[in-house]
Amino acid sequence: MPGTGPPLIRVEHIGDEGEPVVVVERFSPHPDRLVAEAASIPFKVMGEFYPGVRARAPRLYLEELAPILAPVVREVFGYRERLTFDRGLYSMVTTPPGRLSLAQRIPHIDGVEEGMIAILHYLSPEDRGGTGFYRHISTGFETVDATRHGPYLEALQADFARHGEPAAGYIEGDTAIFSRIAYFAPTYNRALIYRSSLLHCASVAGDAALPADVRAGRLTVATFLSAR
């Protein structure tokens, strides 16, 4: 596991659109405490899109993020007036590849509204699969905001008609419909910060074990922010 010390922050600009992904090592000062807390609370399915189970992260977790996030949101993403924490969710991928819905077999976005930012915080000591970012080939879109959402969905339906729906399984690289533009490995206590409109997906090997055990499975915290 990484050593102790202050967070280490770098910014990578990915794809043709050059969108920033902020990578923060040693994101939380207390990652082991977060894992222990996750082991003590019940997880459940929340919504139809996430391929696994989730639980609410504590308010203290969100409060501890502020000293890191405020300058990142201001200097990298250009928002200066307000920062609001919408929610933080412990998350574990547990759905077997053969049971994934169509929406879970392709890259997704977390929101189309201006100012929405996502944080993905890895809390598994072993490599349980990182995160890939993608370009939709037929449109060239790497981000899907409110103005692109309708055209993107129409183009996606045309892609399915032309190529067929993707086979059951987690997406791990290029397909006939999407090309992967970046990949980030799941180092313990690493976080990725990016606009919610970026197309992305968990990269989980087809033969990976997906236990619903926070100390053995793919444990992350997904946090969603609104900024102005």
Domain assignment present for 123 = yes
Q: Return the ∠ at Cα 129 (arms to 127 and 133), rounded to 5°.
A: 135
Is residue 18 within 8 Å of 59, Cβ to Cβ?
no
Q: How many domains, the chain?
A: 1
Domain assignment present for 1 = no
CA dist 210 and 204 (Å) reads: 9
CA dist 109 and 77 (Å) reads: 17
pLDDT at 129: 92
CA dist 23 and 196 (Å) reads: 15
pLDDT at 3: 53
Domain assignment present for 64 = yes
CA dist 172 and 113 (Å) reads: 27
What CATH number did the domain enclosing 186 receive? 2.60.120
- What string of pLDDT tens digits covers the 228 residues of the chain? 445 689 999 999 999 999 999 999 999 999 999 999 999 999 999 988 999 999 999 888 888 888 889 899 999 999 988 889 899 999 999 999 999 999 999 999 999 999 999 999 999 998 999 999 999 999 999 999 999 999 999 999 999 999 999 999 999 899 999 999 999 999 999 999 999 999 999 999 888 889 999 999 999 999 999 998
pLDDT at 172: 87
CA dist 212 and 214 (Å) reads: 6
Domain assignment present for 226 = no
Is residue 190 within 8 Å of 41, Cβ to Cβ?
no
